[in-house]
Amino acid sequence: MLAFLFLSLILYCFSIISFSKGWNNNLKSKSNIFHTTVSVVIAVRNEESNIINLIEDLSCQDFPKELFNIIIIDDHSEDNTFDLIKNSQKKYSNLVIRSLPDNKFGKKNAINFGVSFSSSEIILTTDADCRLNSKWLLTMVSDFQDENVKLVSGPVNFFKTKSIFQEIQCLEFISLIGSGAGAIGINKPIFCNGANMAYKRNAYLEVVSSLNTSIASGDDVFLLHSIKKRFPYSIRFKAHSSAIVFTHSFESIKDFVNQRKRWAAKTTSFKDLYTVYTSVVVFLVNVFSLFLLLVSLYNFNLIYIFLLFFLIKNMVDFYFLRNILSFFERKDLLKWAFPFQIVYSFYIVFISIISQLKTFKWKNRNYSK
């Protein structure tokens, strides 16, 4: 039994160290100025408090205006979102707005609908509640100068807050972004974030029929897996400060858990073997951490095994996080790394279980797994 526990830990450490190597590989890439036609496609629903800020950020992009447009697809908003965007069209000539047909709903359908209105070579996606650097577009499309590149994943970060809960959220979120980026850096992509990604429109059209549209979440990861399968070694991560997209963390635990349930619900639909392998290894290591902690409460002699297991995992995670947090200029979050590790195993097991048993709510809609 102990041999199996430590075998899982060895596999976990090997994966994290590999991700760290991949992250360093990403840092070696350079940004060259490259101009091509681009459509920024955004799916929105009930975003009246955010959408104008995003439109203004996009209007200030350091990119030839004649080469890009903004396509916003309204997913049956119940607030003033559509009217606000409609009014913005008077100011921005390259802004296109459409509503999803009555028989369509959800982000995947909205993105697909938006792409159908584009004739650009590159599609860029972000979320309505994000804020962008003025060189974001220029930076994100630069890797497409290499004709072999089909998809570029970009960094996403949270705005700084003073809440301990939100700082711990940020630490976990950055660790996920870093893991996805590290996997891309070793040419074994597992996931990315749809709040900041770009892809060739032709590549999207080649794989769109194979995308899983029955699950509310996963517009990003299922596309990544499909492109990975169809075009091996064609995915990059843009590790550049100008490419960072900023969004908001959650103020309430309920909203946070609901989002993680939505994210975790799609994991059982993954078909990419390396992604499945990584998910299983991470889950097992956290289950075994929790198991060793609980059994050591009944048999104190096992506390040393738990501490060894925990220490090795913590050291590897700390080594990985240090470089990632440095890139995002959030090394201040390292102080939460050790306390967070103590509760992380409980959190992972809890989210994994409830994501398969319970429904979740997103944009005032209820979804089952």
**Residue 267 within a domain:** no
Per residue in 6-41, pLDDT (tens digit) is 999 999 999 999 999 999 999 988 878 899 999 999
Task: Please count the structural domains in the chain.
Answer: 2
Q: Tell me: do 164 and 291 sit in the same domain.
A: no
Centre a 10 Å sphere on the Cβ of residue 7 and count the other Cβ atoms it contains: 12
In eight-state DSSP terms, residue 20 is H
Q: Tell me: do 12 and 39 sit in the same domain.
A: no
**Residue 191 within a domain:** yes
Give the SS3 label for residue 360.
strand
Tokens 């697909």 identify what position? Answer: 112
Give the SS3 label for residue 201.
helix
**Residue 259 within a domain:** no
Distances in Å between the Cα of 225 and the Cα atoms of 9, 222, 229 are 26, 5, 6
**Residue 262 within a domain:** no
The average pLDDT across 175-188 equals: 97
Tokens 């944009």 identify what position? Answer: 363
Mean pLDDT lowest among 1-10, 40-49, 124-133: 1-10
Q: In this predicted model, which residue has the larger pLDDT, 77 or 359?
A: 77
| CATH number of the domain bearing residue 214 | 3.90.550.10
Q: How far apart are CA 230 and CA 220, in angstroms?
A: 15
As given in the structure block, the two tokens for residue 5 are 């526990």
In this structure, the strands spanning 95-99 and 151-153 are unpaired
State the pLDDT at residue 138: 96
Q: Tell me: do 103 and 149 sit in the same domain.
A: yes
Q: Tell me: do 244 and 155 sit in the same domain.
A: yes
Helix extents (H) in 186-272: 201-207, 221-230, 253-265
Residue % of the chain over a pLDDT of 90? 72
Q: Tell me: do 16 and 30 sit in the same domain.
A: no
The average pLDDT across 42-62 equals: 95
**Residue 246 within a domain:** yes
State the pLDDT at residue 363: 67
In this structure, the strands spanning 156-158 and 68-74 are unpaired
Q: Work out whether the CA dihedral 196, 364, 70, 60 comes out positive or negative.
A: negative
The average pLDDT across 247-268 equals: 84
Mean pLDDT lowest among 198-202, 216-220, 221-225, 307-311: 216-220
Q: Which DSSP string corresponds to 117-143?
A: T---SEEEE--TT-EE-TTHHHHHHGG
**Residue 369 within a domain:** no
Instruction: State the pTM of this model.
Output: 0.93
Kindly provide the residue ranges of all beta strands, DSSP E only, lying in the chain, ordered along the sequence: 38-44, 68-74, 95-99, 122-125, 131-132, 151-153, 156-158, 197-200, 235-237, 245-247, 360-362, 365-367
Give the SS3 label for residue 253.
helix
Helix extents (H) in the chain: 2-27, 51-59, 81-88, 107-115, 136-141, 164-185, 201-207, 221-230, 253-265, 273-298, 303-327, 337-357
Q: Tell me: do 74 and 42 sit in the same domain.
A: yes
Nearest to 265 by CA among 366, 151, 130: 366
Q: Tell me: do 65 and 143 sit in the same domain.
A: yes
Per residue in 303-344, pLDDT (tens digit) is 999 999 999 999 999 999 999 999 999 999 999 998 888 888
pLDDT of 217 over the 80 cut:
no
- 9 in Cβ contact with 40 (< 8 Å): no
Q: Tell me: do 15 and 113 sit in the same domain.
A: no
Q: In this predicted model, which residue has the larger pLDDT, 332 or 215?
A: 332
State the pLDDT at residue 271: 87
Q: Tell me: do 59 and 175 sit in the same domain.
A: yes
Band (pLDDT 50/70/90 cuts) for residue 364 is low
Domain span at residue 156?
A: 26-254
Q: Tell me: do 171 and 290 sit in the same domain.
A: no
Q: Tell me: do 58 and 197 sit in the same domain.
A: yes
State the pLDDT at residue 361: 65
Q: Tell me: do 242 and 289 sit in the same domain.
A: no
